[in-house]
Structure 1
Amino acid sequence: MQLAQKIVELEQALAIADTDGKRVGFIPTMGALHKGHLSLVKKAQDQGLFIVVSVFVNPRQFGEGDDLENYPRTLGVDARVLSDAGVDVLFAPSSHEVYPATGVKEIFAGELGALFEGTVRPGHFDGMLTVVNRLFNLVQPDVAFFGSKDAQQLMLVTQMVRQQVANGDREPIKVVACETVRDEEGLALSSRNQRIPKDLIPAARTLHMALIAGSKKKTKADCIEAATAQLDPIIRLDYLELVDPDTFAVTDGVAGARMVIAGWVGEVRLIDNLLVGGV
């Protein structure tokens, strides 16, 4: 595996892959890698792609009161994990590489970016889309892989790419949604999980229990009531709602809806989602 910390190093690796006729698969991450990230690598490997994984803790998607300083940074461990997994290039740039003084286009998430996570974390999705767009411009992938736990993020990235391709601003990128990976009790894997005290892990697992309970009901009121009843009392809920999976608009219908949840377990904020009737 090649470690590229400069854009020129990334470009050199991509040029070799292009010469060899390889298609590029890209997995953007903020590091502190876990089995969920490795499942994305496996998806890319199954397609025979030249795999680039980025590790960059993006300051622009952390707002006031967010945990930028506390976000885990484990580049050395991540590099070993990715090398063992057979990744071709680890792109681990500095902020100066990603955000030079000029030339980076700001992307705005619009109305969808102001809902749910955007309400709780204003500007978060603008920063996320800006860095994803920048990384796409640098890596020029054929395929990009994202986990489904961050469903609103996935929808925004997909919409951004679709609009850019339609406008002639970008070559097509296939955005692949990958299944959420969970621990043995259903907790969605997240880099933030390592900050949850061991005695609060059972409480964290009640988020998924809540989604499962709610997904079995036939009316919205019953869904929300059943889900809420499963939550550990220490969970400080930010939202629990049913949304249209194609628009993220709040819906009163149950069939085919996505139940989304976000809450605090101690000092760690977790999100999750589930298609009603699915797992």
Structure 2
Amino acid sequence: MMKMSTCLSEMQVAECAEAIRDNGFDSIPEVIREHLRSCDKCASEVLAVADLINLPEENKERPVRTLFPPWVRWGAVAAVVTLFVVGKFVMQTPSDQPATDRSKTSVIEIARSDEATVAQSLPETSIPKAGNDSLNINTQPSPAPKGLLAAYTPHRELEKLTKRSLTGQRSEGSVRVRTPNVLEIQSDTVHLRWRNTDRIQLTVEWFNNQGVMIKHVTTNSNSAAVPKLPGGLYYWKLFNADADMLYCGKVIVKQI
């Protein structure tokens, strides 16, 4: 006996359902019956379609089948089978959207709902508009402290002396200053320099900007170190052994 290699088509399912309704299961061809015994899928479809097309008992005597041509009746049965198969496929097909995506969507919707709830619960605050008097920005530089200005105020008499570049010519030798007339320094060690060819004794006196001597040093070398001084304006004088002033300059110590 031949066996079917594939499941029943929609038309075969409809024919089997029609045969079962009219003449019973034995009226179905033997090959199809053997297939229905071994294939639960086709058997369930045939039984389901048979239930759909089975008319109530009181309507069996009515000539329902004679109202339409046979091809119309078979077309209707095939349509019922198609609807059944499609509906079953849709019910068994999983959603295209992954579960993780659906969960993410749910989380996003919950977060948006929470944000809306928080936004509704927050009180409304009004921000005043900035007018002409709302901000008072001072674009002028801050004035320097009075003490700082006083530390750099020039001394009149000492300023006059610094404008002179004096070179002393004495019997004991010649001295010529090499340091600039105005020297600007910070905290680094700086030396005042001159040429003392005969190594005569020289004295350096330091004055603040008020004309008060604050330090003095004696040397016969060609230089003398500038002492550690706080920020301000200072003057220095160079004398020989006879107390003759050879030079007067000034040093500006920058504030750190």
TM-based fold match above 0.5: no
Which has the higher Rg, Structure 1 or Structure 2? 2
Q: TM-score, normalised by structure 1?
A: 0.16
Q: TM-score, normalised by structure 2?
A: 0.17
